[in-house]
Amino acid sequence: MPGMGNSLRAAALLAFVVLSILLSLLISSVQQFGARVSHFSNATLPGDEEKLASLRGALIYQLNERRKEIIPLLLPEDGDENGLSEETRRSSRAQDPILDYNLWNEITLGSRKAHLDEMGCDSLVDMQAVEILGSGYTKLVVKVNLAGGQPVALKLVNEQGIDMGKCLEDFKDPQGCRELVSSKLQKEIVLLQRLKHPNVIKLKGHCAGGQGGGGEGGRVTVILEQGNPLQMIQLLQSPWEDRFRVCLDLVRLLHFLSQSPLGSVALLDFQPRQFVTVSGELKLTDLDDASAEETACQSDTDCTLEFPHRNFTLPCSARGVCEGLNEKRNIYNAYRYFFTYLLPHQAPPGLTHLVDHIMNSTGELKADINQTLEAFEHILLLYKSGLHLDNLPPSVVKDYTVMRGMGTSGNVEYRCWPSYSQQGCVLSVHSAKEAAYICNSHSQCNSFTLTGQKTWTGRLLAYFRSSFSHLVPDGTSEVYVKKTKALETPTV
What residues are labeled active site?
269
Give dist(CA 185, CA 189) in Å, integer.
6
Residue 279 — left, alpha, or beta (φ > 0 → left; ψ -120 to 50 → alpha)?
left
Beta-carbon contacts of residue 343 (< 8 Å; ≥ 6 apart): 243, 244, 247, 355, 358, 359
Beta-carbon contacts of residue 91 (< 8 Å; ≥ 6 apart): none
Do 181 and 169 touch, CB atoms closer than 8 A? no
Beta-carbon contacts of residue 31 (< 8 Å; ≥ 6 apart): none
Paired sense of beta strands 220-225 and 203-208, if any: antiparallel
Beta-carbon contacts of residue 200 (< 8 Å; ≥ 6 apart): 192, 253, 283, 284, 287
| Other Cβ atoms closer than 10 A to 445 | 20
- CA angle (481 as vertex; 476, 486 as ends), nearest 5: 120
Do 365 and 312 touch, CB atoms closer than 8 A? yes
Query: Long-range CB contacts (< 8 A, 24+ apart) of 391-399?
Result: 391/350, 392/433, 392/434, 392/437, 394/433, 396/433, 396/436, 396/437, 396/440, 397/432, 397/433, 397/436, 397/480, 399/436, 399/440, 399/482, 399/483
Give dist(CA 357, CA 70) in Å, integer.
40
Do 194 and 75 touch, CB atoms closer than 8 A? yes
| Of 342, 378, 337, nearest in space to 243 by CA | 342
In single-letter form, the type of residue at position 320 comes to G
Do 122 and 210 touch, CB atoms closer than 8 A? no
DSSP summary character for residue 224: E
In single-letter form, the type of residue at position 169 comes to E
Give dist(CA 286, CA 115) in Å, integer.
20
Angle of helix 240-258 versus helix 325-334 axis, rounded to 10:
170
- Peptide bond connecting 308 to the previous residue in cis, omega within 30 degrees of 0: no
